[in-house]
Structure 1
């Protein structure tokens, strides 16, 4: 499974229930929703991540701008090797791997890709 797919699966699997501020716990991976289900109920990515960050507390970091903190919040590998692989998946070639320039470009690429896949992502996170 690609790293981006893991990111998207974690976000979709932690979608808050209507009227609930906390993410829905998940014991097993959910099956991918049908295109009709995705179109009918887009995922509010920021709301999901805010809920996850609130549960984690102060250790959530700056996930809005840091790809490392975003991956950690989702419980995914944030190592340089994982970020290199993610950069390759998303076609991000900004600065040397591990540099601030690369990490910022990678973070923005992830937000754009989440939006392309049906996530509701504020413009401020994609630009």
Structure 2
């Protein structure tokens, strides 16, 4: 599985947990998610899900890709971040502060494009 796939599954829930049909209020992992269209596709509140995780109050996941990955129990070393950057379109990842800011923003944008509700300040 891709590193981004692991991030998405950790925040959204594993695909096996997601209903293929249904509506909010049913007994499933997405029960509290709002419906965004008539096919009952839920929107996942990324900020709320991350804030609800154990240890979130001790990590700066809102701006740090390393802390975000730590919160999700995903390896956050240089090689893992480089592989994630490569998955998301950056071939020349160096691990610099600028690269890490780019990587965090890119992950947040990808979460948003995959059905996540992500606050605007995480996207710029």
TM-score by length of 2: 0.77
What 5-or-longer segments of structure 2 have no aligned partner? 23-34
The structure that has the greater radius of gyration is 2
Map residues 111-126 of structure 1 onto 2, 5 A cutoff: 111-126=108-123
Indicate the residue corresponding to 1:85 in structure 2.
83
Deviant stretches of 4+, over 4 Å = 34-39
Secondary structure, aligned partner of 1:31: helix
Per the alignment, residue 50 of structure 1 pairs with 51
Alignment of 1:101-120 (within 5 A): 101-120=98-117
Measured after TM superposition, the shift of residue 92 of structure 1 is 2.7
2:5 maps to which residue? Answer: 5
Aligned position for 2:16: 31
Structure with greater proportional helix content: 1
The count of aligned residue pairs is: 108
What TM-score do you get using the length of structure 1 for normalisation?
A: 0.75
**What is the CA-CA distance between 1:69 and the residue it aligns to?**
0.2
Q: CA RMSD in A?
A: 2.2
**Structure-1 separation of matches of 2:56 and 2:85:** 28
Unmatched 5+ stretches in structure 1: 14-28
